[in-house]
Structure formats: C-alpha cells, structure tokens
Amino acid sequence: MMEVCKFQTDMYIEGMADLNEMILVLPLCPPDQKEAKIAQIKEKVTDRYLPVFEKVLKSHGQDYLVGNRLSRADIHLVELLYYVEELDPSLMANFPLLKALKTRISNLPPVKKFLQPGSQRKPPISEEDLEKARKVFRIK
C-alpha cells in the first residue's frame, strides 16, 4: 500500500510540474507573446489540469489526493492553486473540491503561518525586479 501511495504522489507531482513551469516562466515571456501565453495557460488550467485533480478528489471522496492523508502532492497542488489564482481567480470557479482542499490546507497552522504577510512566502515578481533579473542574466 505504501508503494502505491508513493507512486501516486510522485505521479501527481510530475503532472503538476508542467503547469507550474508554464506559470513560473510567464514573466520571462516576450511582451508581444504574453497575452497568447496567458490564454494558453488559462485554457490548459480549466480544460486539462484542474479537472483531473477535481476528478481524483471526487472519485474517492476523501480530503486529500492520496491515502486520505496530507502528502507532498497536496502541498504542491495548493501552491499551484495559489499561482493559478494570482493569474486569474475566476479559473477556480468550477472546482469546488479543489477550493475546499486549498482552504483546508491553508488553514493548517504551519501553512497558515507561512502564508501570513511578512513570512518567507514571496509575492509574484514585480516588473522592476524582473527588469533587474533580465539585465543580470542578459535575457532579452
């Protein structure tokens, strides 16, 4: 049973990695391509990624993705859901089980503390910081 849970956890995290990367590199997208990239990400979020995780939660009726206990997959998914909300809060509208998972995990004391202003959690990169990074790394 433990091997199955580890396999499922790893599988879910790998599935999230693609979307996570798309969102994280978005600030580096050339301005003339940014709107198209955002539209592509939004489409994949609502048509591909979030429906899969909503379906997993619905299929077993448990509070978490794997084994009805908190796992790395849940933490990674909630982090990704925060990124999705920063992109466009309306993207979460049709996914009540994912919203409930996000709320449940966000209210765990260590997570709640981490999410407080002034914590280690970093806000999305500002245009000013992005421009500095572009100069340092010579990104055009």
Q: Which residue has the higher pLDDT, 61 or 16?
A: 16
* 16, 76 Cβ separation under 8 angstroms: yes
DSSP labels, 8-75: HHHHHHHHHHHHHHHHHTGGGS-HHHHHHHHHHHHHHIIIIIHHHHHHHHHHH--SSSSTTS--HHHH
- The pLDDT tens digits for 87-123 are 999 999 999 999 999 999 999 999 998 888 877 767 7
Question: How far is the C-alpha of 74 from the C-alpha of 78, rounded, in Å?
Answer: 6
| pTM beyond 0.75, yes or no | yes
What is the structure's pLDDT at 3?
64
Tokens of 98: 């994912």
- What was the pLDDT predicted at 101? 96
Q: How confident is the model at residue 36 (pLDDT cuts 50, 70, 90)?
A: very high
